[in-house]
Structure 1
Amino acid sequence: MSSAPLDPWNDAGPAPARPRPGSAPGDQGDALWSSRSELRRDISRSQDDPTTGFESVATRLQRDYSRRPALSLWSRGWRALGGLWGPDRNRDRLAASASAVQSPVTTGRRLAVVSLRGGAGKTTVAALTASTFAALRPEPVAALDLDPALGSLGLRLGHRPSSGADQMAADLAALETTTFDAVTSRMAAGRNDLYYTGPRVTGRPLGEAAATTLLSGLSRYFPVTVIDCPTGPEHPDTAAVLTRAHAAVFVLPATAAGVDEAAGYLRHWLTDPFLSAIPVVAAVVGTGRDAVLDPLAQAGALTRVGVGAVAIRHDRHIAGGVGITLPLILPENRLAAAELSAQALAAANAPGTR
């Protein structure tokens, strides 16, 4: 005759009564959250609360790494010494690209930055492109973060608090008339008259009406607007932006899967009835110092598909994941960012562009 195994917790008594989350009296010191969103919001507030003295990870990394140059002092000195014996051909290419970036526009040009997969470097390329336009053009430039999952474009452009695209679209829709000051007061101000939005918090698609209000409101006052789209062309917000974009920047990582997928999709892009009306250029982003594939070689291979491509090499300033300062990145990447911006604007200004 077998007996049921003894439960070692039988003598522990009944489970203690636990208060329902969010039902704690206001005078209790312990915080209780009714949802994960409240938990994240309260943690975010505590990180930014000057009375607690707690410094967020992003703020600490911004302080530690945003001023770190891509090249060490030794490397900079060695390159400067080598330049004494030979002409700097990159300087001429940079000057030509800068001239193209400064080309006049008739109406505000909208450049959509897209990718097939997360982690491709889309936000990095959007930040580099927006910073390049702001540094080289005399007018203000806008950068729009449409990532529904708390995007990091603002972190790459200066980490200043500002409204997200959802809130900004609602604010602009509520205004009877808009002005430059009314628009920019809802954005963060970065270097060189670069204005950008903060991370979105709702996670829902903007919708056609909000996308139209937001993009038309920005294009009225900014000659160039760079839009960091949600991952995947099938996302409703990405589709809404592409419908209204004058050109697109397609970002891919320098990996075997990334290059193969991008080559196939770009061939589809050039033949699709909808996408083929949108000029596209590609940016191949290096994934690491010791990566197997060279982004420059992969960019050259992509040109055989019929799409212009540039390579963004890995450098430690960009890899810091925080604010990007153009003079601190690799000279090769500074040139690549200028060439990418020039190609994208030329495509957006081409005759017949919608």
Structure 2
Amino acid sequence: MTTTPDPWADAGPAPERPRPGAGQDWSTRRQARERTARDQDDPLAGFEPVAPRTARRHARRHALSLPERAARGLGSLLRHDPTPERLAAHAAAVQAPVTTGRRIAVVSLRGGAGKTTVSALLARTVAALRPEPVAAVDLDPAAGSLGLRLGDAAAPGADRLAAELAALPVPALADLSARMAVSGAGLHHTGPRVAARPLGVEAATTLLAALSRHVPVTVLDCPTGTGHPDTAAVLAHSHAAVFVLPASPAGVDEAAGYLRHWRQDPVLSAVPVTAAVVGTDARGVLDPRAQAAALARVGVAAVAVRHDRHLAAGVDVSLPLARPENRLAAAELSARALAGSRP
């Protein structure tokens, strides 16, 4: 009987591979967290992306703790809360028919002001209140996070969407739905852009025209800074604007000066603007409500968005989990932008 020689006889002993977790002390959660943090900096070890892990941990966290919600519920039994009536009034304004697609540009002077958070709040609010499809477009050229805030960061970017729509004779709503992420009740949105160069006037016009043909309201998360070419192109085609500023001394001072310029500029003054004063820091020295009231006293329509641990998580925005005051603020911003938009 002939035996076949072993082709691996001269290969030597099999290498010893350490078992997963061998040599590591996982006796405490603190050590496990430290090990995970080190692995994130090691390209050979591999790691789970931060965004999905944060989404799982914080996206379902309510803005108010359980004791706070219980205290509010008890307080509502003892005194009248005007929030439902005010919310109903703003909702009626958001639900009013529009004769043509309305575009709301969300702008800011600096990064970290809360522009994308406000954009996601507006898009979620309008989509929840209107029966028709609603669109949200991320125009940030530096891989914006609007898609993450709306639940699907893997959606195609605005530049890719504009190029694909330009190749179609007359884009239909089905073409938009096939090329955009659809979140919740008919909310169509784009993902991060893949090109850092400006979108351009022609591509922006093509994109906005295709959206407004089928979508009554489009929220546009503009690049940071009103001097960016894409911001200028979008403002020229927008019916209203929301100017986002952080509730900080520098943010309020800069925004107040620029909003005065906005009212005097021959081009910008044609676009009705509402300021959104955002509490970006839970321990900030300025109260967003007080700063919004101060802007209103000098003739600038302003709404306060208070610090919210659900919104501050930086992941998928859920209206039921946000502070009731911020749900009301989002409805008021949406109502002001639609009711006061230019024809």
Asked if these proteins are the same fold (TM beyond 0.5), I'd say yes
Q: Which one of the candidate residues 316, 321, 336 is aligned to 1:328?
A: 321
Q: What's the secondary structure of 2:260's corresponding residue?
A: helix
Partner of 2:189: 196
Cα distance in 2 for residues equivalent to 1:160 and 1:311: 27
Q: Are 2:66 and 1:55 equivalent residues in the alignment?
A: no
Give runs of ≥4 in structure 1 deviating > 6 Å: none
1:254/1:295 contact within 8 Å kept = yes
What are structure 2's unaligned runs of at least 5 residues? 1-39
Q: Secondary structure at the match of 1:281?
A: strand
Corresponding residue for residue 165 of structure 1: 158
Match of 1:242 in 2: 235
Q: 1:144, 1:225 within 8 Å by CA — same for their partners in 2?
A: yes
Of residues 248, 254, 276, the one that matches 1:283 is 276
Distance 1:160 1:200, change over 3 A: closer
Residue identity over aligned pairs, in percent, reads 67
1:86 counterpart (76, 79, 85): 79
Q: TM-score, normalised by structure 2?
A: 0.85
Equivalent pair of 1:267/1:305 in contact (CA under 8 Å): no
Q: Measure how far apart 1:87 and its partner are.
A: 1.3
SS in 2 for 1:192: coil
* Residue number in structure 1 paired with 2:333: 340
Please give the per-residue CA displacement for 1:105-137, whole angstroms capped at 9, x wherever unaligned: 000000000001111100000000010000111
* TM-score normalised by length of structure 1: 0.83
- The aligned counterpart of 2:121 is 128
Distance in 2 (alpha carbons) for counterparts of 1:239 and 1:75: 43
Deviation at 1:53, TM superposition (A): 9.3
The CA distance in 2 between the partners of 1:123 and 1:93, in whole Å, is 25
Provide, for residues 314-346 of structure 1, a one-character-per-residue CA deviation record: whole Å limited to 9, x for no partner: 011001000010010111111111111111111
* Structure 1: stretches of 5+ with no match in the other structure: 1-46
Q: For the Cα contact (< 8 Å) 1:163–1:199, is it kept in 2? A: yes
The one-letter code matched in structure 1 to 2:78 is W
Q: After the TM superposition, which residues 256-335 of structure 1 pair with which residues of structure 2 at under 5 Å, given as runs?
A: 256-335=249-328
Which amino acid in structure 1 is aligned with residue 95 of structure 2?
Answer: Q
TM-superposition CA deviations, 1:232-270 (whole Å, max 9, x none): 111000000001000000000001111111111001100
CA contact (8 A) 1:263 1:305 kept: no
Q: Is the 8 A contact 2:146 2:153 kept in 1?
A: no
Secondary structure of the corresponding residue to residue 325 of structure 2:
helix
Q: Give the 5 Å matches for 1:54-73.
A: 55-73=48-66
Q: What is the rounded CA distance, in whole Å, between the counterparts of 1:293 and 1:248 in structure 2?
A: 24
Aligned length: 300
Instruction: Choose which of 220, 226, 233 in structure 2 pairs with 1:227.
Output: 220
**AA of the residue aligned to 2:108:** S
Q: Which residue of 2 aligns with 1:142?
A: 135
Q: Which stretch has the larger CA shift, 118-127 or 82-91?
A: 82-91
Match of 1:77 in 2: 70
RMSD of aligned alpha carbons? 1.4
CA distance in 1, matches of 2:48, 2:130: 35
CA distance in 1, matches of 2:282, 2:233: 36
The alpha-carbon distance between structure 1 residues 221 and 300, as it changes in their structure 2 partners (threshold 3 A), is same
